[in-house]
Structure 1
């Protein structure tokens, strides 16, 4: 492959990366305002969780299909579906519609990120990959910084619907560039798709999410519905594990996890996903609900996190080559844990400086850790497993975010129910004059209504929301500490020491120039 072709492909993939980054940060910042206008605070976490659900369960499927049929057609299909979901989300007229269209968007997003990272692994060798990884992290960070700011401006000055339409030009240009420049050689043979594994995995995750998001709100935790859903989760996951051991071409080969690097990186990915999605989901809620900020100020608050991430990712890519995965991942998770620990101290008196420092620490830590996880996994497997292996890291990251955000939403709803009721009872006269179709937390997210409230009532509501969010941040802190301790299990030493070494038989089998280059690039 020529340098010119690599350059054009890299631009196409960078646009694809920007597509995913813009969507994640714009929606996270805009959601408090969207909920304030559409209502449905109890559905808040569903908008994130349904997107993460569909994008999570499809990641290993896309990864496997990319190994079987090639990266290019799967990337184009996923991007097209993502854009369809973006357009329909932008046209949504209710929270229920938005949730449905976000599910479609997630079905496409499941292909974008893992296949972008897989193509990077295909066309660059390890040393080049470490440099390029920093470049792509920079694109992620820049898009993420612009996303909240632009999203906040759109929500504050125009209609929130437009935050989804911004994806369209990036997606179309990315697809066109890849169509005309990316050529790949795929071994054509008869394949056996793992339909049973796909269905049981998806069913297991859906049952778990319904149990977590509806339990304690729509029905009691000890009700028949909750017990049945948790039981279905266990049974379906058991069937998934059984199916994967017998499938000719499993979507998530368990043999991968015999490799300690992949196992530990997967655990780290789960924690990273919980922290990443948890912070970007609930810090904007704190800024707007407790501090009384706008969507724009909420986006700016996330800026330090999203700026620190690509900077440290660029630095860590170089450190990994010399000092290895363990050192980089340990440093990263330590920084993230310190930052999350600061968020647990947030209250209505917290200064902007304190919030900025916390975001910087979290962003810096996640930047170090994410590079270590991606490069270690890609470097540990041969070309024919790189797609599914890369997808597995994305799967566990988004799975962590999916389940994590769902659990946090459940905790937040339960805490708000306990704390808001006494306040409404104490200020019964004021509460009776509020619109009956607006939930208590939505009062804090509706600027016009908020401005009409007496200070004493408003202050107690802010304190109640802050205290409720404490338990969300506390959960993230516990998991961050667990992630930090787990990283010591990664092997030490330079990355090259742990690279996959193709056997003579594999080298002989892959006689065409491109696959040989791919294999040799691993070591």
Structure 2
């Protein structure tokens, strides 16, 4: 099978339509993610929601957590086809609500529904990878997912900014909805190949895990609502939110995740910490460029464009070099160093009023670091996962990804609002300093990784396999 797989491309035989459909879905997520980050400063002003700025990004990620868990369990029981249809429907409904939102409250409600659907469809994509593609094609698939960000990165931020400047931000989401419907249509034929398992092999409903996922979503949302509360209520919300997040996430992640146990737990923790530091910061990059340097929405989106391009480029290089020349420890070491450089650059611009282009360059460097880290964490999750648990494996990494991002956004939201918002002198400085500290903690997870199984040892002769992927629809950045 290894020899046959090496002679097979992603666009041959049974893989072609699946590849096109999945990449199209990731491209939609990329456009939505980059457009949202670009125009959110304008939305917050229009809907009078600056204190809930971070919550607009955190809401869909938090709602995605129960979406991921439910979808993983449901896909293991039903095969994934019905899960995909329900997930896509919820995403479309949520996007429509966001598009028509007259108030910040309605906007946030739409983001919750949209996020639940996005989290679920994200799991479906990686179940597809597990059950259709052999292990030798996983790295090219992940590189393809990263490459799906290239075109949206080139035109997404600028297009969203121009549409907002010329017409209105509502039209940005209208365009995203149309593209999403078309992308899902490409995936429909492939969904018929996700057959349900035999009745004797279907796992039971994991009601406890689903309940914990709902509790985790509520806890992290409470953290993100805290900036809009009074002083004492804010303190109570933070304490309860932190305790609830820690307690609820423990049953949803592999045992030993929070102490960086060797193997899969350390990979999951690394993904969460990197997501927290990078995406917790990225939401404020266009905000800083618009508030402090006076750039337009389309111009401020340049930082997101270059980061997405370098992310895709680094992921492509990662797939080409192979594991013989690029070990896991070396990949994570270089990737983390690049991410930390980007955070230092953002901190310097925010603190000392350095030229705005330095932040753009720094974010380009950070995108390359993420492009190295994400596909390797995805590959290692596949390696460390056991046979027959692809639903759990898919949801575990996406939960860490989403939860880390939401916690990062909660921290930055609290600091930003507490320091006076866009008018405060230290607001942006505190945001990037805190994320630099969180990013530095990821070094400990890398040191605890332990031995990594080879690709040959992970290959199975036939049947379903466990999986997890790269930057997908719910990556914040979101998303792919």
TM-score, length basis structure 2: 0.86
> Which ranges of 4 or more aligned residues in structure 1 deviate by more than 3 Å?
1-5, 225-241, 251-259, 491-495, 499-502
Report Cα offsets for 1:444-491 as digits up to 9, x if no partner: xxxxxxxxxxxxxxxxx5xx45x3101100011111111134213223
Indicate which of 254, 269, 272 corresponds to 2:271.
269
Q: Secondary structure at the match of 2:263?
A: helix
Output the CA distance in 1 between the equivalents of 2:213 and 2:181: 31
Output the CA distance in 2 between the equivalents of 1:227 and 1:86: 32
TM-fit CA distance, 1:391: 2.0
Name the CA shift for 1:362/1:107 in 2 (closer, same or farther; >3 Å). Answer: same
For residue 25 of structure 1, what is the aligned residue in structure 2? Answer: 34
For residue 471 of structure 2, what is the aligned residue in structure 1? Answer: none
Indicate which of 377, 380, 383 corresponds to 1:376.
380
Output the CA distance in 2 between the equivalents of 1:309 and 1:202: 31
Output the CA distance in 2 between the equivalents of 1:303 and 1:35: 22
1:470 aligns with 2:429: yes
Name the CA shift for 1:491/1:236 in 2 (closer, same or farther; >3 Å). Answer: closer
Q: Secondary structure at the match of 1:193?
A: coil
For residue 229 of structure 2, what is the aligned residue in structure 1? Answer: 218
**Contact residue 139 and residue 379 of structure 2 kept, 8 A:** yes
TM-fit CA distance, 1:56: 2.5
Q: Secondary structure at the match of 2:230?
A: coil
3-12 or 365-374: bigger deviation: 3-12
112-121 or 255-264: bigger deviation: 255-264
TM-fit CA distance, 1:191: 4.2
- How many equivalent residue pairs? 452
For residue 289 of structure 1, what is the aligned residue in structure 2? Answer: 291
For residue 447 of structure 1, what is the aligned residue in structure 2? Answer: none
Alignment of 1:224-243 (within 5 A): 226-227=235-236, 230-231=239-240, 234=243, 238=247
Which protein, 1 or 2, shows the higher relative CO under an 8 Å CA cutoff with sep ≥ 6?
2
Report Cα offsets for 1:305-332 as digits up to 9, x if no partner: 1110010011112345223322211211
Structure 1 unaligned spans of 5+:
245-250, 418-440, 442-460, 508-512
For residue 197 of structure 1, what is the aligned residue in structure 2? Answer: 209
Output the CA distance in 1 between the equivalents of 2:331 and 2:246: 33
Indicate which of 67, 71, 74 corresponds to 1:58.
67
TM-fit CA distance, 1:208: 4.2
**Contact residue 280 and residue 406 of structure 2 kept, 8 A:** no
TM-fit CA distance, 1:260: 2.6
TM-fit CA distance, 1:66: 1.7
Output the CA distance in 1 between the equivalents of 2:436 and 2:206: 37
For residue 79 of structure 1, what is the aligned residue in structure 2? Answer: 88
Name the CA shift for 1:412/1:240 in 2 (closer, same or farther; >3 Å). Answer: closer
1:329 aligns with 2:340: no
486-495 or 139-148: bigger deviation: 486-495
For residue 68 of structure 1, what is the aligned residue in structure 2? Answer: 77
Q: Secondary structure at the match of 1:186?
A: coil
For residue 392 of structure 2, what is the aligned residue in structure 1? Answer: 388
TM-fit CA distance, 1:31: 0.4
Output the CA distance in 1 between the equivalents of 2:118 and 2:67: 9
Report Cα offsets for 1:164-209 as digits up to 9, x if no partner: 1222233223333332234133313254212233223322441343
Report Cα offsets for 1:263-309 as digits up to 9, x if no partner: 11111111222133223310010011111111101112221111100
**Contact residue 185 and residue 514 of structure 1 kept, 8 A:** no
- Highest Rg: 1 or 2? 1
Structure 2 unaligned spans of 5+:
1-7, 467-480
**Contact residue 137 and residue 313 of structure 1 kept, 8 A:** yes
Alignment of 1:143-154 (within 5 A): 143-154=152-163
377-386 or 85-94: bigger deviation: 377-386
TM-fit CA distance, 1:492: 5.3
For residue 411 of structure 1, what is the aligned residue in structure 2? Answer: 415
Name the CA shift for 1:318/1:126 in 2 (closer, same or farther; >3 Å). Answer: farther
Name the CA shift for 1:235/1:157 in 2 (closer, same or farther; >3 Å). Answer: closer
**Contact residue 65 and residue 213 of structure 2 kept, 8 A:** no
Q: Secondary structure at the match of 2:173?
A: helix
**Contact residue 382 and residue 500 of structure 1 kept, 8 A:** no
**Contact residue 317 and residue 372 of structure 1 kept, 8 A:** no
Report Cα offsets for 1:404-451 as digits up to 9, x if no partner: 10111110001116xxxxxxxxxxxxxxxxxxxxxxx4xxxxxxxxxx
TM-score, length basis structure 1: 0.79
For residue 198 of structure 2, what is the aligned residue in structure 1? Answer: 188
Name the CA shift for 1:38/1:212 in 2 (closer, same or farther; >3 Å). Answer: closer
Output the CA distance in 2 between the equivalents of 1:240 and 1:62: 17
